[in-house]
Amino acid sequence: MSSTENGAEASARETGRPSPKVPERPHPVTLREVAEAAGVSTATVSLVVNKKKDARIAEETRRRVTDAIRTLGYRPNAMAKTLVSGTSKFIGLVADGVATTPFAGQIIHGAQDEAWKHGYALLIANTEGNGELEQDAIAMMLEYKVRGILYSTWFHRQTDIPPPLREADFVLVNCFSNEQGARAVVPDEVQGGRSATELLLAHGHRRIAFINATIPAPAKDGRLAGYRQALGNAGIPFDPDLVMEAYPDQEGGYRATAGLLQRGAPAVFCYNDRMAMGLYDGLREHGLAIPGDVAVVGFDNQEVIAAHLRPPLSTVALPHYELGAAGVRVLLGIDPAPGGPAKIHCPAVERASVQVQAHA
């Protein structure tokens, strides 16, 4: 292997197949060519392509046209159809970082699956929170006559509605506005916090700490409310001393270790999985076993992390896929828009970081 050859080339060569040349691209087939092949006028082809139901065309003629379309590989011009109908088969998705942020990308996946199901394609613009880019992206979508726009944020938060968005039919996804009538779908943080706490309650724990985030967010308020609800439902009085706060990443979780040990709680619900990952490191440094000494639950079900910690982390999933899909359904009027933001269920995912305890 020569010093400049890379694996890609080596791998291509190793298949042993010849290297055919990519053929010249054929010129696009025109409506006129279809008409000539079928022996009909271009007007007739146009009527067949645009599926005009009231046009009277003999079945035999229609068949000749569709055969010619298939044989020649004719692609109808979607732009021309749009001019006739006034709206395109596009749904716009404006994202402030969804496409490029680990995990929130599932919003795209869910929105696309649901859009395709109803004959729409997704036109995505990722703005990285740049206001000017956002204006341009929405203007572009309006010029392409989108059916509507999903406006999404990579973390759950309140948002202002950018003025050009008001020109479209729109739904907020993973964010919400305080304007009445602004349709939105958001994760159900309260239910998620309740489910996370219940994972620990179900294993006999009654003294459960909560390491919340330092940063104000609907997730911070909602998960705390859910934690309190779960304790209340189990008849356990709320002890504010068991609620700590830390920066919501690995370093924050690591630094929270000492405070947790001071409180002596044998079970802890962490605001997110990254925090739990840092706490794992801290607990190990103190020679403590998970879940034997401390049972740990996270939040997010963050891919590449939660299932791969040692031990694997019990957590609650953020329903990104379902947020995208529900956004499309609300936009198209398939799901009714509730009075406030529609709240999407956050499912619990149980793994080895919690454990049955006979008498806790």
According to CB under 8 A, which residues from 121 to 180 bind its own copies?
Answer: 121-126, 128, 133, 136-137, 139-140, 142-145, 156, 158, 161, 166-169, 176-180
Size of the site for its own copies (CB under 8 A): 108
Site for its own copies in 315-344 (CB under 8 A): 340-341, 343
Question: Can you tell me which of 26, 264, 287, 336 binds its own copies, judged by CB under 8 A?
Answer: 26
Within 8 A by CB and 6+ apart from 147, the residues are 87, 88, 89, 90, 91, 120, 169, 331, 332
| Under 8 Å between Cβ of 40 and 64 | yes
**Residue 7 in the binding site for its own copies (CB under 8 A):** yes
What is the smallest separation between the CB atom of 360 and its own copies, expressed in angstroms? 26
Q: How many CA atoms lie within 13 A of 115 on its CB side?
A: 28
Of 9 and 67, which CB lies nearer to its own copies in the complex structure?
9
Torsions phi, psi for 44 (to 5 deg):
-65, -45
Site for its own copies in 173-232 (CB under 8 A): 176-182, 186, 188-190, 216-225, 229, 232
Torsions phi, psi for 150 (to 5 deg):
-95, 125
Check residue 208 and give left, alpha or beta (phi > 0: left; psi -120 to 50: alpha). Answer: beta
What is the smallest separation between the CB atom of 175 and its own copies, expressed in angstroms? 9
Which of helix, strand or coil describes residue 127?
Answer: coil
Of 93 and 348, which CB lies nearer to its own copies in the complex structure?
93
**Residue 58 in the binding site for its own copies (CB under 8 A):** no
Of 44 and 257, which CB lies nearer to its own copies in the complex structure?
257
**Residue 66 in the binding site for its own copies (CB under 8 A):** no
Site for its own copies in 80-109 (CB under 8 A): 80, 82-83, 88, 99-103, 105-106, 108-109
Buried b (16+ CB within 10 A) or exposed e, 250-278: bebbbebbeebeeeebbbbbbbbbbbbbb
DSSP character string of 337-351: PPSSPEEEP--EE--
Of 60 and 143, which CB lies nearer to its own copies in the complex structure?
143
Task: Give the separation between CA 58 and CA 271, rounded to whole angstroms.
Answer: 66
Question: Can you tell me which of 281, 286, 333, 352 binds its own copies, judged by CB under 8 A?
Answer: 281
**Residue 240 in the binding site for its own copies (CB under 8 A):** no
End-to-end CA distance of the chain: 62
**Residue 5 in the binding site for its own copies (CB under 8 A):** yes
Of 155 and 204, which CB lies nearer to its own copies in the complex structure?
155
